[in-house]
């Protein structure tokens, strides 16, 4: 899978976090993500164009990342989209809550390069499997 061709949408209300994430993704060989600053904007952008990966901060204004994740996972049209949840919270129950809601991976902010690479590899493996299953169906 060509990482540079994957479309990524990142939602975070902290501009500095989005800039850092963009740089880290570029260093990993991904194209720069499209960025928005709240959950409502994430959903609007998802309705306007397809994305392969959505990176969500849990705590955002207007609509938080967990709400966006749950609402997207409830719609079949987003079944093939991978979601990476970001949060400054490292509590095991929050990680499990995000995974149970449909996140493919969870990373703790601030995310260092090695941790982001590990989580993006999980996301890539899920995407490859999801696409293989679609081709076989």
Q: pTM of the prediction?
A: 0.95
> CATH: 3.40.50.150, 3.30.70.100, 3.40.50.2300, 3.30.1130.10. Which one for 3-136?
3.40.50.2300
CA 49 to CA 75: how far, in whole Å? 15
Average pLDDT, the chain: 94
CA 72 to CA 6: how far, in whole Å? 19
pLDDT over 70 at 33, yes or no: yes
In the chain, what are the domain boundaries? 3-136
Mean pLDDT of 86-104: 92
Mean pLDDT of 68-85: 96
pLDDT over 80 at 136, yes or no: no
45-65 pLDDT tens trace: 999 999 999 999 999 989 999
Please, are residues 73 and 93 in contact by the beta-carbon 8 Å criterion? Answer: no
Mean pLDDT of 14-37: 97
pLDDT over 80 at 84, yes or no: yes
Residue 112, CB-side half-sphere exposure with 13 Å CA sphere: 2
């Amino acid at each position: 899978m060509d990482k540079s061709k994957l479309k990524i949408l990142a939602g975070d209300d902290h501009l500095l976090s989005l800039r850092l994430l963009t740089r880290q993704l570029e260093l990993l060989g991904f194209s720069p993500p499209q960025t928005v600053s709240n959950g409502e904007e994430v959903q609007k952008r998802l309705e306007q164009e397809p994305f392969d990966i959505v990176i969500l901060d849990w705590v955002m204004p207007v609509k938080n990342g967990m709400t966006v994740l749950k609402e997207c996972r409830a719609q079949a049209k987003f079944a093939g989209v991978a979601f990476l949840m970001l949060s400054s919270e490292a509590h095991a129950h929050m990680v499990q809550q995000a995974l149970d809601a449909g996140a493919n991976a969870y990373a703790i902010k601030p995310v260092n390069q090695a941790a982001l690479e590990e989580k993006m590899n999980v996301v890539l493996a899920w995407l490859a499997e999801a696409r293989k299953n679609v081709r076989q169906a």
